[in-house]
Amino acid sequence: MTDTGRRHSFFVHYVVVGLVGSILLAIGAFGVGWLPVNTSLHGNPVVMALRTPGVGVALARFCVIVGMALILQAWLVLGYDVLRGKVRSLPALWWTLAAWSAPLILTPPLFSRDAYAYFTQGKLLIEGLNPYDVGVAAESGWFNDGADPLWAESPTPYGPLFLLIERGVAQFVGPHPVWAVIAFRLWAMLAVAMLAVAVPALAKRHGISAPKALWLAVLNPLVIMHFVAGAHNDALMAAGVVVGLLLAVEYRPIAGTLVVAVAIAVKPIALVALPFVGLIWAGVNAGWWQRIRAWAATGVIAAVVVVGLGVVSGTGLGWIAALSTPGAIRTWLSPPTALGMIVSGGLRGIGLGDHMDLSVAVFRGIATVIAAVILLWLVLKPQGRSAVRGAGLAMLTVVVLGPVVQPWYLLWSLPVLVAAGLTARWLHATILLTAVLTLHGVAGTSATSDALFEFGDGLGLLLVAGLLAVIVWASPRERVLLLGDPGDPGLVPDDRPAQARYDQMVINR
């Protein structure tokens, strides 16, 4: 087969289904995506037809549901052949990512309207207000610009660099929130492109197949759903962490520390990756004094960067106090919060009164202590694993034991863990979790501006379980991907040279 024939075959077999799904998702976004009051799109007859109750909204919802289902199916079909070595071309996978993302560039945001809050926070800065001191409600046009009333009075938890980006976008687009969303999406897509290059490179350093890592960590439907369609700034933070770790393992620890510091200045949660850059800097055979010196150096560099950006932005260190902002809500996806709500419901059921706030606070407090212990253990007892794996486990710990979990939070740790390799059990658990969170994101109440089905988290998860059961029963390929195959080794080094590269990354003492 000629090169042209191979490219055509790849496009037909793997790309076209996801591309059609993305186009449907883009169409649906104009009907049930988030649109602010302040936009001329309300005068567009096609948009208004898609947003008209009845046939129009039903069609838009259908497009979103079928579009995400097609993207998930295309990803699973491609993954089956990637994991079996039938697809090895990184450029082909990069073009697939571009094809699945491109139709969403100019659409309203789906699955979240955080991008409108970014825009309004930028306007606050232009007006001389500090988003660490006031919520978006301090800006006179905040509601018409599409910001979520849930966070109207809350200070922002984002870092000073992202505040500078917000201000720059707000200055550039003027009074046009939809254009601001597109600008923030372009930033997010730049970050996705960085991940698409850095994750395979970091995986290769660990002896892990670069195409497999790219497929699982970056072509992932959750990336399309939340980083591209949702335009979340988490993409910039995740890219900064991966690029910083890559630079560190390539013997450029100062550059790596600077990039991770930039990630911290976008979303401070990236701070948990910093000690592992220090471990890489110290070396796999380092003693305690070498590690302490490396930790001190990374800490000083990061502090200078973050404090300096705080000075430049004029916002200081207010993000420290604002870190508790996301915890103001409760989600069933957070294990400690879910346990607190379950216990509270049980107490109320036996007539002991409503103790929701206390119950949730107690379980969140216990989880925080457990998370701190795990993080200390990962940093202080790193023997037998690579520092990159330690960083991924640390970020996963913060997510699982955090007070609030959103579906895109999985993407904080996923690229790092995938690059360091996964056992067969973890590989298939990750694929299954991706499918669950993708379907849950469509079924859940936060999916679109007036929700697809008005399902709560519990009913949404039950629906997802039923859909996955049907998929597993109906398709042998999907069954192998989601549940595993007894002979599958996982995402691990597959030959001696690869194993040797992996062994060089493992901390010995």
Nearest Cα residue to 148 out of 107, 177, 182: 177
296 close to 404: Cβ distance less than 8 angstroms: no
- Structural domain including 360 reads 331-370
Last residue of a domain, one of 310, 339, 370: 370
Say yes or no to pLDDT of 444 above 70. Answer: no
What's the token pair of residue 486? 């007894």
Give the whole-angstrom CA distance, residue 405 versus residue 421.
24
Give me the number of domains the chain comprises.
2
Distance CA 185, CA 107 (A): 10
Look at residue 473 in the predicted model and tell me its pLDDT.
55
Is pLDDT at 257 greater than 90 in this prediction? Answer: yes
Q: Which of 248, 240, 242, 239 is nearest to 279 (CA)?
A: 248
Min mean pLDDT across 59-68, 350-359, 437-446, 452-461 is at: 452-461
pLDDT mean over 317-337: 74
pLDDT digits (tens, 9 = 90+) for 102-112: 999 999 999 88
- Contact (Cβ atoms closer than 8 angstroms) between residue 120 and residue 41: no
SS3 state of residue 475: coil
SS3 422: strand
Question: At which of 370, 401, 419 does a domain end?
Answer: 370
pLDDT of residue 503: 83
Read off φ and ψ for residue 490, nearest 5 degrees: 95, -165
Q: How confident is the model at residue 446 (pLDDT cuts 50, 70, 90)?
A: very low
CA distances from 100 to 5, 24, 37, 115 (A): 21, 11, 29, 21
What is the spatial distance between Cα 338 and Cα 405, in angstroms, rounded to a whole number? 10
Has residue 66 been placed in a domain?
yes
Of the candidates 461, 463, 459, 483, the one whose C-alpha atom is nearest the C-alpha of residue 473 is: 483
| pLDDT bracket for residue 172 (50, 70, 90) | very high
More confident residue, 10 or 249: 249
Average pLDDT in the 427-431 region? 89
More confident residue, 19 or 357: 19
Answer yes or no: is pLDDT of 25 > 90. yes
Distance CA 305, CA 194 (A): 21
**259 found inside a domain:** no
pLDDT at site 451? 41
Q: Name the more confident of 450 and 384.
A: 384
Q: Is residue 405 part of a domain?
A: no
Q: Kindly state whether residue 126 falls inside one of the protein's structural domains.
A: no
Tokens coding 379:
């940093």
Residue 488 CA to residue 474 CA, distance in Å, equals 21
Asked if the structure places residue 289 within a domain, the reply is no
What SS3 state is found at 140? coil
Which range in 42-46, 115-119, 343-347 is most confidently predicted, on average pLDDT?
A: 115-119
Q: 91, 108, 125: which is the final residue of a domain?
A: 108
Share of the chain above pLDDT 90, in %: 47
Cβ(499)–Cβ(207) below 8 Å: yes
Q: Which residues pair with 491 in a beta bridge?
A: 422
pLDDT given at position 247: 96
Instruction: Specify the pTM.
Output: 0.89
Amino acid at 410: L
Q: Is the pLDDT of residue 448 over 50?
A: no
How far is the C-alpha of 484 from the C-alpha of 470, rounded, in Å? 16
pLDDT at 176 exceeding the cut of 60: yes
Supply the mean pLDDT for the chain. Answer: 86
* pLDDT value of residue 33: 87
For the residues 205-215, what does the mean pLDDT come to? Answer: 94
User: What is the 3-class SS of 18-44, one letter each residue?
Assistant: HHHHHHHHHHHHHHHCCCCCCCHHHHC
Task: Flag whether 160 is in a domain.
Answer: no
Whose CA is closest to 265, among 297, 303, 227?
303
- Assign 508 a pLDDT band (cuts: 50, 70, 90): confident
Please compute, for residue 193, the number of CA atoms within 13 A of its CA located in the half-sphere on the CB side.
11
β-bridge partners, 490 = 423
| CA dihedral of residues 486, 416, 392, 412 (deg, nearest 10) | -110
Q: What's the average model confidence in pLDDT over 359-380?
A: 91
- The whole-number average pLDDT for the span 350-376 is 86
In a domain, 134, yes or no: no
- For residue 353, being part of any structural domain is answered with yes
**Residue 10 to residues 3, 18, 58, 89, 92, Cα–Cα distance (Å):** 11, 12, 33, 11, 8
The three-class DSSP label of residue 451 is: coil
Does residue 145 or residue 399 have the better pLDDT? 399
Q: How confident is the model at residue 450 (pLDDT cuts 50, 70, 90)?
A: very low
